[in-house]
Amino acid sequence: MARFLARRLLFAVILIAITSSAALVLARLAPGDVTSQLGPFASQVEVERTRSRFNLDRSPISQWVLWAGRAMRFDLGESFLYNRPVAPLVARAAANTALLGVVSLLTATLVGLALGVFTGARSGPLPLLVRSVSLVCVSLPPLVTSLAFVFLAARTGWLPAGGMVSSAASDPSWSAWMIDVLWHLPLPVLALSLPMAATFERLQSQSMSDAVQQPFVLAAIARGVPASRVLLRHAWPSSLRPICAVYGLAIGALLSGSFIVEFVTAWPGLGRLTFEALRARDVYLVAACAATGAAFLALGTMTGDLLLAAADPRVRQESAG
């Protein structure tokens, strides 16, 4: 187990190093630089000073070396756009994205798996209805769901149509802030988790209907084990393998999906920040965003692997040996 974790940790470090370095170098090599943000009337002196402040006067390689050396000591540089150190900026955006992502993933998992067990094990009009609805929802990408929900919110006024906090509550207490965030959370969470829940439902339904046809289920029923116990304690755990296998991939999809949901619903997360940083050629901010995204990704795939190992003894054997 320790060796397995160590290998995943090494993978995570490599992933973070490669993606953030690539992002830094790509953003540096992109045509135009951050000084175009100064406007057309900036003086030559000001442009030169900005260039040297962000090490743009060095060659890309020496800039990378300088940045990598500092990044080892967790000094990620400064942002031009926000005129302050990158680390707290990114940490805040990452926390917002993590809140959205984790709540969405939990919602999708709970709803999707529960419905999947139901439709996989039963037949009749109600499971058929659930199945059809989820086939429709699988085909609703986050771009479409978020636009549709924002439209509904704007039309009905039931939920705030965007943002994470109301601008009116600018000086709130901690609890008021929490309630405000909770009030803004359902819309992006719904938009993000609906297609994902449907995907989990389809997968779980498929593997559950395979599992209930296994001989050991019949044997358990023949021994007189109650049906609900057979379903939940015998059939369900054995059907979890394909779900855990896509869980790691689901994290990537979650990040991809949260980008567009954040964009449409004006959620101040990592996606929006990355986009702004890329457009402004704010090199250190781009690199830090890429590093954070890669860290999320590594964490997600690691969680997926651990879940897979927990659900399937065969995998545990492989990683132990």
Partner 1 sequence: MRRAAWSLLLLIAMAAAAAPWLAPNPPNQRFDDLLYAPPTPIHLLSDGLHAPFINPWHVVSRLERRFEADTFVHLPLRWFTGGTLVTGDPDAGAPLLLLGADGYGRDIFSRLLYGARATLVVSLVSALLATIVGACVGGLAAYAGGWLDGVLSRVSEFVLVLPAIYVALVLRAVLPLVLPPSTVFVLLIGIFTLLGWPIVARGVRAIVLVEREREYAVAAHAAGASDGRVLFRHLLPASAGFLRTQASLLVPAFMLGEATLSYVGLGFPSTIPTWGTMLQDASNVALLGDAPWSLAPAAAIFVVVLGVNLLAQSHGRAPVQLEP
Is 162 a binder of partner 1 (CB under 8 A)?
A: yes
Is 155 a binder of partner 1 (CB under 8 A)?
A: yes
Smallest distance from partner 1 to CB 199, Å: 6
Spatial separation of the C-alpha atoms in residues 176 and 187, rounded to whole Å: 19
- CB closer to partner 1 out of 115 and 230: 115
Classify residue 157 by burial, with Cβ atoms within 10 Å: 0-12, 13-18, 19+.
exposed
Is 202 a binder of partner 1 (CB under 8 A)?
A: yes
Is 148 a binder of partner 1 (CB under 8 A)?
A: yes
Stretch that binds partner 1, among 50-58, 136-144, 228-236, 307-315 (CB under 8 A): 136-144
Smallest distance from partner 1 to CB 52, Å: 22
Pair 209, 168: CB distance under 8 Å: no
Among 1, 129, 136, 218, binds partner 1 (CB under 8 A): 136
Number of residues binding to partner 1, judged by CB under 8 A: 54
The set of long-range contacts for 162-166, using a CB threshold of 8 Å and a minimum separation of 24, is 162/187, 162/264, 162/265, 162/266, 162/267, 163/265, 163/266, 163/267, 163/268, 164/96, 164/266, 164/267, 164/268
Q: How many CB atoms lie within 10 A of CB 268?
A: 15
- Which residues in 251-290 contact partner 1 (CB under 8 A)? 252-253, 255-257, 259-260, 263-264, 274-275, 278-279, 286, 290
Spatial separation of the C-alpha atoms in residues 278 and 86, rounded to whole Å: 14
Pair 112, 199: CB distance under 8 Å: yes
Stretch that binds partner 1, among 65-73, 121-129, 177-185, 242-250 (CB under 8 A): 242-250
- Which residues in 12-51 contact partner 1 (CB under 8 A)? 15, 18-19, 23, 26-27, 29-32
Stretch that binds partner 1, among 2-10, 175-183, 250-258, 308-316 (CB under 8 A): 250-258
Both ends of the chain: CA-CA distance in Å?
9
- CB closer to partner 1 out of 50 and 274: 274
Smallest distance from partner 1 to CB 263, Å: 6
* Phi and psi, residue 73, nearest 5°: -100, 20
Among 144, 159, 221, 307, binds partner 1 (CB under 8 A): 144
**Which residue do the tokens 């302050």 mark?**
84
Is 135 a binder of partner 1 (CB under 8 A)?
A: yes
Is 250 a binder of partner 1 (CB under 8 A)?
A: yes
- CB closer to partner 1 out of 144 and 225: 144
* SS (HEC) of 243-279: HHHHHHHHHHHHHHHHHHHHHHHCCCCHHHHHHHHHH
Among 301, 302, 305, 311, binds partner 1 (CB under 8 A): 301
Among 42, 87, 114, 140, binds partner 1 (CB under 8 A): 140
**Interface contacts to partner 1, rule CB under 8 A:** 15, 18-19, 23, 26-27, 29-32, 135-136, 138-144, 147-148, 150-151, 154-155, 161-162, 195-196, 199, 202-203, 206, 246, 249-250, 252-253, 255-257, 259-260, 263-264, 274-275, 278-279, 286, 290, 293, 297, 301
